[in-house]
Homo-oligomer: A and B are copies of this chain.
Amino acid sequence: MLTISQLASFAGVTVRAVRHYHAKGLLPEPKRDRSGYRRYDAFAAVELIKIRTLADAGVPLARVHELLAASEEEFTAAVADIDRRLRAEIRERQRHRERIARLAAGDSLALPPEAVAYLDRLRKLEFSDLMVEGERDAWILVAAQLPEHMPLYMKAKQQQLDDPATLQLLRDLVAAASWEADDPRVAAVADRLVALFEADAEGWEDHQAEGRGEHQGVMPAELAQLLDAVFLDLVPIARRLLDLLEERGWRGWTNLERIRPT
């Protein structure tokens, strides 16, 4: 007859764990000797090993309890389930390995050089510090989520700055960012924006079509939503501007989309 510590060390668990399994009803309380010590037989050892085998595989103790009393079929079904979970966890850890590797590379923490170049150019063009900081915050978010898409985005932004009309509109937008929410000039800004969108529309749609297989230029909805929220919070006229754009057939901001062909 075994004492609790002999039993425990045989199964490679602590004495505390064995008592825990008693308290949980997983392992039946064995008989006691005259001094009240628990005395175990070989079956207890076998049961304990079953418990540990299941628990080590990540099965919650409550589930282990059920399984020990389950029928053959239930048991094999459950085991198949556990095996699926283990495989999923293995894949999960493999993904985590990749994620922390990227984190360690440090690229996602700071901004990539293209973004730094873009922000520098904004400063040279004498945009306000406030605007540049807003842009920086936004691109930090994007870079943290989609580091691999940054070169593409930055190329697009640089092209915007290359075009004098777009650049002027951008300057006007920055000025408009400090207007009150109900400023009457917003409508005019909306009109100019729509005109620019319409002009760009063809080339833009071609671009969308090209990047079919993998969302080349388009941003995941979550991220776009977040950037929109930042825009809405920082710029008083943002809400009304988006509403006016929607009246004119365009929805969204970060992920702009046409909702009515004109």
Q: Which A residues fall within an 8 A CB radius of B?
A: 1-2, 6, 9-10, 41-43, 45-46, 49-50, 53-54, 56-58, 72, 75-76, 79-80, 82-83, 86-87, 89-90, 93-94, 96-97, 99-101, 103-104, 106, 109, 137-138, 140-141, 144-145, 222-223, 226, 229-230, 233-234
Q: Dominant SS at the A interface?
A: helix
| B contact residues around A103 at 8 Å (CB) | 50, 53-54, 79
Q: Contact partner of A2 among B53, B96, B233, CB < 8 A?
A: B233
Contact between B43 and A140 (Cβ–Cβ < 8 Å)? yes
Contact between B1 and A233 (Cβ–Cβ < 8 Å)? yes
Number of copies: 2
Name the residue among A86, A96, A145, A229 with the largest chain B CB count within 10 angstroms.
Answer: A96
Q: How far is the CA of A83 from the CA of B222 in the complex (A)?
A: 29
Query: Lowest 7 CB-CB distances: which A-B pairs, in order?
Result: A42-B137, A79-B104, A57-B96, A1-B233, A86-B93, A10-B226, A57-B100
Contact between A94 and B90 (Cβ–Cβ < 8 Å)? yes
Min CB distance, A2 to chain B, in Å? 6
| B contact residues around A137 at 8 Å (CB) | 41-43
Further pairs besides A45-B226, A57-B99, A82-B100: 15, Cβ < 8 Å: A2-B230, A10-B222, A10-B223, A41-B137, A42-B140, A43-B137, A49-B145, A53-B100, A54-B103, A56-B99, A72-B106, A79-B103, A86-B100, A87-B97, A90-B93
Contact between B54 and A1 (Cβ–Cβ < 8 Å)? no
| B contact residues around A140 at 8 Å (CB) | 42-43, 46
Contact between A100 and B54 (Cβ–Cβ < 8 Å)? yes
Min CB distance, A170 to chain B, in Å? 20
Contact between A144 and B49 (Cβ–Cβ < 8 Å)? yes
Among residues of B, the one whose C-beta sits closest to the C-beta of A49 is: B144
Q: How far is the CA of A103 from the CA of B55 in the complex (A)?
A: 12
| B contact residues around A58 at 8 Å (CB) | 96
Q: Contact partner of A42 among B6, B49, B230, CB < 8 A?
A: B230
| B contact residues around A6 at 8 Å (CB) | 226, 229
| B contact residues around A82 at 8 Å (CB) | 100
